[in-house]
Structure 1
């Protein structure tokens, strides 16, 4: 009975299709660059240099290093250099977002002068200006360890659920075939249909 059930499973093309998908997913995950997760100790060392709110010194130094890397004068083939480029890119991006926020505040202050006091447009501009000012110096490079811990908790659970779903999809045709051929009632009516057959499946 066990041989028969194994034969039914391994003669299905869907099993090999799902197996191929699992292998491709494993290869894809292993090919992802490690610096995307920021789990390495190197990022903690980079946080000591580049961490905190953005400053003009950090931004100018990051731009100089990035220009040297683009020009080829500095090698970026090692993990350390790629991680440093990754952090410097975030520092420069944070400075650009800071400038955009400052320009938005100035634009809204101009609207406060333009619109009449008490109108909907005036209240909208005032509220947005006050909200942007309350944000303060939020732009910079930070390692959010609580998020990292949460994703470390989610990742293994997600992998188990994904593999379980793929296995379920692959084995489903084995059971669906008996229902489609209407042989389920005949199997359950046999001597071992309700006990040994269920265990074998």
Structure 2
């Protein structure tokens, strides 16, 4: 499982980018929102990733925040929503907007994405009701992922302790902001647990 990539952005296109990690170029499919945020080729980039393995091949999807990845996972759990459709939705709705649309039953918001008709939008809204957390938590979780691997490990630790994805993401993002770039995994987990308990 490839969970994270950190390297140099070689090129980007309408729906994907190629990231060089120690001489290996990874083609990663991204939402339009994340493509806009990663900058120009030649710069360093860190992406959270999700690898989908199908009979016809492996596809790597990339995300700029833990909240975006959790929203992607939730979307692809809905029948009829593949990785490309999920990215199309995340191109027009950030995690907090998606959570708000689902919590208000607003299928029209979801149907703004390419490839999403009214029936599929209704299924998404119905099946994800109560699964995305509150729009407020999702907006914090939609903040850019801290660059260090410790943040991803802290997120995993909180998830293993039973916290919902949106709660875990929000707590880790807040802890990482407070502690700064050099935070250790132990410090991040301790502070994130305090934040999540409030």
Give the TM-score normalised by the residue count of structure 2: 0.22
**Structure of greater Rg:** 1
More helix by share: 1
Give the TM-score normalised by the residue count of structure 1: 0.22
More strand by share: 2
